[in-house]
Amino acid sequence: MGSGDRDGGGTGSDAIDKASVRERIWDDLEESGKARFPFPPHGRIPNFAGASDAADRLAEQPEWKEATTIKANPDAPQLPVRRRALHEGKTVYMAVPRLRDERCFLKLDPDELEDYDAATTVSGSSKHGEQVGPEAVDRVDLIVSGSVAVTEEGGRIGKGEGYSDLEYAVLRELGLVDESTPVATTVHERQVIDDAVAIEAHDVAMDLVVTPERVVRPESGSEQPAGIDWDLLTNERLEEIPVLKRLESS
């Protein structure tokens, strides 16, 4: 992970800050009636009308069809993605919230689970999934990320805590993903923006932006973060996340 900005729809003095984009998108989804439970959409990866349709469209893509192992976010709009993956025999990994445990990933193995619907919910994944350490994680073929907003150039705006990018960086450090690993997001069409947003070097670029209506394949050519940018991590975060302490000392 380097420093500086890269193009996520625009850079420089015309770029708007991510926080204002988040508030605008959250407000718009709520006011347009396109937000879905849980409410309100604010402060979270927002669920949206047509999330299942977006998951179906993602499943038509070659990156999905070729993947046997998927790393997915735990949020509500990607529930249909996680559920479909298990029904198709794909292993799903989810990060433990805030990577707070030494065994910082949850493994959902379709061969070991009886109730796919329960296992793929936010609460059910911790009950039905197997909590594993990084050494037990298989190489990941496809990453699916939740977004608050995303540019057509593949610049993603999350909810602002930085854990999605950090999870990618950890997987990259461990050799479980590389530059060629595709990263997708499923969003409502209203979450796809054409604003000039400054995307930083530690932000993971989207290779596939999938809405209920279409698939966008950005051609920005942005390099993915090569690993963890230790300069961006506070001592507090290092203390909170055991896998970071292990990687730092290795």
The pLDDT score that the predictor gives to residue 7 is 45
In this predicted structure, what is the pLDDT of residue 250? 74
Contact status, residue 179 vs residue 131, Cβ threshold 8 Å: no
Are 61 and 162 spatial neighbours (Cβ–Cβ below 8 Å)?
no
Q: In whole angstroms, how far apart are CA 160 and each of 44, 212, 250?
A: 9, 24, 29
pLDDT band at 219 (very low <50, low <70, confident <90, very high): confident
Total-model pTM: 0.92
Q: Predicted confidence band at 220 (pLDDT cuts at 50, 70, 90)?
A: low
What are the pLDDT digits (tens) for 181-210?
A: 999 999 999 999 998 888 888 899 999 999
Asked whether residue 133 carries a pLDDT value surpassing 90, the answer given is yes
Of residues 3 and 84, more confidently modeled: 84
Say which residues have a Cβ less than 8 Å from residue 113's Cβ, sequence separation at least 6. Answer: 86, 119, 128
pLDDT for 80: 98
Q: What are phi and psi of 175, to 5 degrees?
A: 75, 20
Asked whether the predicted pLDDT for residue 3 surpasses 60, the reply is no
**Beta strands 47-48 and 35-36: pairing type?**
antiparallel
User: What pLDDT, on the 0 to 100 scale, is given for residue 16?
Assistant: 85
